[in-house]
Amino acid sequence: MSRIGKKPIAIPKGVKLEIDGSRVKVTGPKGSLEKEVRPEIDLVEQGGILKVVPKNESKQNWAFSGLFRSLVNNMVVGVAQGFQKKLVIEGVGYRAEVAGSILTLNVGYSSPVKFALPPSVKASIDKNMIIVESIDKELLGHTAAKIRAIRPPEPYKGKGIRYQDEHIVRKVGKSAGKK
């Protein structure tokens, strides 16, 4: 039984929620998001609080209620505050630039890598850090993972693109292991 699915979602001021059958649309100061909800789930709004309720008490429906409670909560938080992820570039000569919706990365390849950002994702550069922002948490995580995959961090010197809070386990080089 999902414990997350039982938690109510508080709708902050300035956020408007529209439930139309199996579609939910959340509109706020930062934008609007829509999602299709599974038919096994009901969304019930009462006085600024949204509850996700399964239509019957099966184990699978409780799991879906937890999933959709998290997805709808992320939509509400996204349109109210937004989300951001920070990626750190480590390496001599490694750098990034943003021009419109194109992120250009110089990360040790023979030519710069151009990465097209999705329309609802914005990026900015602060020294050796890429800050990616969006109202859609799922799209933001997917975009950050694609950027990281361009040059994942290597275990010997730690060169590459990594998340800010990611810890890279370092390996010992050849000469250090033969002592």
Please report whether residue 171 resides in a domain.
no
pLDDT for the residue 120: 92
Please report whether residue 88 resides in a domain.
yes
Clarify whether residues 39 and 108 are in a common domain. Answer: no
Residue 156 makes CB contacts below 8 A (sequence gap 6+) with 170, 171, 173
**How many domains does the chain contain in total?**
2
Phi, psi of 59 (to 5 degrees): -65, -40
Residues 112-138: tens digit of each pLDDT:
999 999 999 999 999 999 999 999 999
Q: What average pLDDT does this structure show over 134-160?
A: 95
Please report whether residue 174 resides in a domain.
no
CATH number at residue 17: 3.90.930.12
Structural domain ending residue among the three candidates 54, 80, 106: 80
Q: Are 170 and 176 in contact (CB under 8 A)?
A: no
pLDDT classification of 90: cutoffs 50, 70, 90: very high
Domain membership of residue 126 as a residue range: 83-163
- Whether 93 shows a pLDDT value over 60: the answer reads yes
Please report whether residue 170 resides in a domain.
no
pLDDT for the residue 149: 97
Residues 26-82: tens digit of each pLDDT:
999 999 999 999 998 999 998 889 999 998 888 999 999 999 999 999 999 999 999
Residue 25 makes CB contacts below 8 A (sequence gap 6+) with 17, 18, 32, 33, 34
Mean confidence (pLDDT) of the chain: 92
Clarify whether residues 140 and 96 are in a common domain. Answer: yes
pLDDT for the residue 175: 77
Structural domain ending residue among the three candidates 57, 80, 103: 80
The reported pTM is 0.88
pLDDT for the residue 179: 61
Structural domain ending residue among the three candidates 46, 80, 114: 80
